[in-house]
Amino acid sequence: MSGPLDVSVEREGTVRASAKDVWHVLTVPELRVQVFSMVTQAATEEGEPGEVGHVLQITERDGGGEPIVVRLTTVEAEPYSRLVQERVGPDGSFTTTTLLEESQDGTRVSRVFHVYNANPSIAERAMRKAIATFFTLGGTVRLKADIGDLIRHFS
């Protein structure tokens, strides 16, 4: 198989809160720890929360395994509507895009995990299906947990 490795996972849900409140939970380190069940620690490495260039270091527990440390760097930010972060950790690198759309019922939160490797190694090419399946399953679990945590927090 040739060509890039390109996999996306998307989940959405409606949160009974304003887009501004959801935005703060996604960008303020202390709120990430309070709201997201997988996050045990979070701290700003540089920049201002919610602004391009903000680097957030978080520690996550993932399915009973050892905690992992990841860095989230904000690469695009349209306050209260669109947040794009590059996530780098021992489980790989990918992009997390969060779209917020406020309505009468609250805020629809759409989250997309996307991994792209333009030049995968021969091993990655051979393992393409397994990597895609693993990423999809892991992304599905993470996104369900994130959306569920937001809904519970604002209920």
Q: Return the CATH number at 106.
A: 3.30.530.20
Q: Per residue of the chain (155 residues), give pLDDT as tens.
A: 567 778 888 899 999 999 999 999 999 999 999 999 889 999 999 999 999 999 999 998 866 678 989 999 999 999 999 999 999 988 778 899 999 999 999 999 999 988 877 777 777 767 767 767 766 777 777 778 888 999 999 99
Residues 6+ apart with CB under 8 A from 87: 70, 71, 72, 93, 94, 95, 96
Q: Give the range of the structural domain holding residue 90, as residue numbers without chain letter.
A: 5-153
What is the pTM assigned to this prediction?
Answer: 0.84
Q: How many independent structural domains does the chain possess?
A: 1
Q: What pLDDT does 88 receive?
A: 92
Q: Of 128, 130, 129, 104, give the one whose Cα is nearest residue 117.
A: 128
